[in-house]
Amino acid sequence: MALTTFTDPLGVQRAAHLLRRTCCGATKQQIEQFAAMTPQQAVAELFDANLPDPEEPIDPNTGQPWINLDSSTDVEDYNYENLVLRWHIAQMMSPGIAQDQSLAYAFRERLVLFMHTHFTTKRTVVSNHRAIYHQLALFRFFAFDKEDIVIDPLAPETNIILNFKELTKKISVDNAMLIFLDGRYNVKGNPNENYARELLELYAIGKGLEGNIPEPQYEGDYIYFTETDVQEGAKVFSGFVNDNSFSNIDPDTNLPRGILRGNTQIASAHDNTEKTFSERLGNATVTPDPTLLLGSEPTEESLLDEISQLIDIIYNQEETHIYTCRKLYRFFVYHEVNPTVQAGIIQDMADIFTASNHKIQPVLEALFTSREFYEGAAGYLDDSFGGLIKSPLDLVVGFSRSFGKTFPDPAVDLTGFYDTAGGMLSAIDNQGMDYYEPFEVAGYAAYHQYPIYNRNWITTNYLTRRYDFVRGQISDGMNPEPGQVDILQFVVDNFSSVAGDAKTLIVELTKYFLPVSGVIAFDDPNSEITNERLNYFLQALYDEGDPDPDAAWVIRWNGGSPNPDAGGQLLNLFNAMLQSPEYQLM
């Protein structure tokens, strides 16, 4: 089954599905705005090329930015590291961004998250908040990559190419990555193979479709690359070390990158020999460019050129295109990929990836405007609406976005800004996702661990904590705690036109908060949510002491603007709905 274009207006349920997957969630008003759009119009809104860059995080001790100051100004790095992570969680809420760009801004940060799950690093290993901050900035720089940056139309060699292949080149000399995978220890005569191995296995080619991997033909054969390729690749990456001063700036991204080990001009720690790769990589060679050497000695330019040669070789492999698109599919669509889906949808995505010069934006544009994104792939019953389990980050950020919660303005209330973000970060951690600290080098198990994938997010303890999170976020409006959503006021502001009829209210809430795609109706055999389930929500709304609960609800809702007693009933309804298994899905 290949991708087929879908051009009808989205409607509420498809719009909610798109915005859950791309932005973690959206308000009722934003969903209704997108509901009137075709997928093509909606995707154009999400890929807004004119988004502002985030404001730098502010030091609460000084009231000033600190990222680009001399590192001697730091106190305890852990404190700043925590501030950077809080700051980034806040960016997912589009702080201070105009309403018409809020969703696009959030979507860009979700792409940043995808890139982090793909090019994994761990903050405790990196142990440098500046390196983490600049890595996030690098991901953001390449997030929307459809159009290259034209510096001079008459000198195309000066233009900046934006695509996933170029990001792979840049991440290879990223300071955080040089620390995390020991590139800083990779020197001539004593190569460290960690980065070369993970590049081939986790970041680029992979080992094939899980459950359908052919048997290796010989020792050291990983089907799409070999142990020889790891060894030769390690030589290519030798000679760089992380730059703790963050003063070596990449001219394309204007972001810091690593430096040569030991000398600013000559890469004396680099293996300057020709590197020959296996037949799995076409027996290709990486050769130092003599025009970039200083005499016969390697330079920073020659090292970067060798890295570029190797990445080009890797991206010339069809399996790299398949692997990258499989990762995108699993992140945005569904975890399970069988040979039929790979030969159809994934291959279509890979063909677009190839034809667009390895850009992911055209791939995602085609995916999000396809019928398959909204209706699923042939042979599956559960891969469209509700086909993914929300990560803790999806749940926490999505809840806040759905209810239109706003962040304190850091220019006015810096303490409140960090406290609010810190509460979200703590809730994410409490539910089993230690942000920027995946358990293993391959990243968070939910994005790579066959065959369980996103089911890793749910355990008995973590499910209870998810329910506790929701319970602590909502109030009946009588005595709300700071940051809680007043459910009564929320319904007044968003659903007052239908709230007087209990069943209609439940049906409408279901369309916006639960991942449903079909008919939702009481006493309808075609309803996607069963009558038993809908009645469970209805009983949660009713007051047990009312002999005629329908009539009593109408009186409470209509009899006092509405009657404050309605808040308690609504609180019970929202607790039932948002603590349901369905709400854990997206």
b/e 175-210 (16+ beta carbons within 10 angstroms → b): bbbbbbbebbbbbbeebbbbbbbbbbbbbbbbbbbe
List the one residue out of 97, 68, 95, 92 whose CA is nearest residue 80: 68
Nearest-angstrom CA–CA distance, 307 and 64: 37
486 inside domain: yes
The tokens describing 298, both together, are 């390697």
Nearest-angstrom CA–CA distance, 441 and 278: 25
Task: List beta partners, residue 370.
Answer: 5
107 inside domain: no
Q: Is 306 helix (H, G, I), strand (E, B) or coil?
A: helix
**272, 288, 316 - which closes a domain:** 316
Confidence at residue 435, expressed as pLDDT on a 0 to 100 scale: 96
Task: List beta partners, residue 285.
Answer: 276
Nearest-angstrom CA–CA distance, 285 and 265: 25
Confidence at residue 546, expressed as pLDDT on a 0 to 100 scale: 87
390 inside domain: no
Nearest-angstrom CA–CA distance, 549 and 569: 11
pLDDT per residue over 513-554, tens digit each? 999 999 999 999 999 999 999 999 999 999 888 889 999 999
Contact, 222 vs 207, CB < 8 A?
A: yes
pLDDT classification of 560: cutoffs 50, 70, 90:
low
pLDDT above 70: residue 76: no
Question: Distance between terminal CA atoms of the chain?
Answer: 23
Q: 139-148, 153-162, 264-273, 316-325 — which is least confidently predicted?
A: 153-162
295 inside domain: yes
H or E segment and range at residue 224: none
pLDDT classification of 377: cutoffs 50, 70, 90:
confident
Confidence at residue 170, expressed as pLDDT on a 0 to 100 scale: 98
Task: List beta partners, residue 190.
Answer: 187
158 inside domain: yes
pLDDT per residue over 277-300, tens digit each? 999 999 999 999 999 999 999 999
Nearest-angstrom CA–CA distance, 288 and 325: 31
Confidence at residue 378, expressed as pLDDT on a 0 to 100 scale: 79
Confidence at residue 368, expressed as pLDDT on a 0 to 100 scale: 98
Task: List beta partners, residue 486.
Answer: 475
Nearest-angstrom CA–CA distance, 504 and 328: 37
**268, 295, 316 - which closes a domain:** 316
208 inside domain: yes
Please classify residue 211 by burial: count the beta carbons closer than 10 Å to its beta carbon, then call 0-12 exposed, 13-18 middle and 19+ buried. Answer: exposed
pLDDT above 70: residue 77: no
Q: 110-119, 154-163, 223-232, 557-566 — which is least confidently predicted?
A: 557-566
* Angle at alpha carbon of residue 423, lines to 457 and 73, rounded to 5°: 115
220 inside domain: yes
pLDDT per residue over 470-514, tens digit each? 999 999 988 888 889 999 999 999 999 999 999 999 999 999 999
How many structural domains compose the chain? Answer: 2
**Percent of the chain residues past pLDDT 90, beyond the cut:** 85
b/e 466-481 (16+ beta carbons within 10 angstroms → b): bbebbeebbbbbeebe
pLDDT classification of 72: cutoffs 50, 70, 90:
low
pLDDT above 90: residue 103: yes
168-189 average pLDDT score? 97
Per DSSP, helices labelled H in 343-437 are: 347-355, 361-368, 371-375, 392-402, 414-430
Confidence at residue 78, expressed as pLDDT on a 0 to 100 scale: 61
173-185 average pLDDT score? 97
pTM of the model: 0.96
pLDDT classification of 561: cutoffs 50, 70, 90:
low
List the one residue out of 392, 347, 405, 401 whose CA is nearest residue 372: 347
**316, 338, 372 - which closes a domain:** 316
List the one residue out of 328, 358, 320 whose CA is nearest residue 345: 328
Confidence at residue 1, expressed as pLDDT on a 0 to 100 scale: 57
- In terms of phi and psi (left: phi > 0; alpha: psi -120 to 50; beta: otherwise), the region of 220 is left
List the one residue out of 127, 117, 113 whose CA is nearest residue 176: 127
The tokens describing 580, both together, are 């349901």
Task: List beta partners, residue 440.
Answer: 443
pLDDT above 90: residue 411: no
pLDDT above 90: residue 158: no
Confidence at residue 562, expressed as pLDDT on a 0 to 100 scale: 61
Eight-state DSSP code of residue 345: I
H or E segment and range at residue 286: strand 285-286
Contact, 215 vs 266, CB < 8 A?
A: no
Please classify residue 541 by burial: count the beta carbons closer than 10 Å to its beta carbon, then call 0-12 exposed, 13-18 middle and 19+ buried. Answer: buried
The tokens describing 433, both together, are 């996702």
pLDDT above 90: residue 70: no
358-381 average pLDDT score? 93
pLDDT above 90: residue 302: yes
Confidence at residue 205, expressed as pLDDT on a 0 to 100 scale: 97
In this predicted model, which residue has the larger pLDDT, 156 or 137? 137
pLDDT above 70: residue 71: no
For the CA atoms of 175, 181, 182, 183, what is the dihedral angle to 10 degrees? -60
How confident is the prediction for the chain on average, in pLDDT?
A: 94
Q: Residue 169: which domain range?
A: 153-316
Confidence at residue 465, expressed as pLDDT on a 0 to 100 scale: 97
Confidence at residue 375, expressed as pLDDT on a 0 to 100 scale: 92
H or E segment and range at residue 48: none
187 inside domain: yes
pLDDT above 90: residue 458: yes
Nearest-angstrom CA–CA distance, 342 and 339: 5
pLDDT above 90: residue 237: yes
For the CA atoms of 429, 435, 437, 443, what is the dihedral angle to 10 degrees? 110
**Alpha-carbon separation of residue 59 from 34, 225, 406 (angstroms):** 37, 46, 21
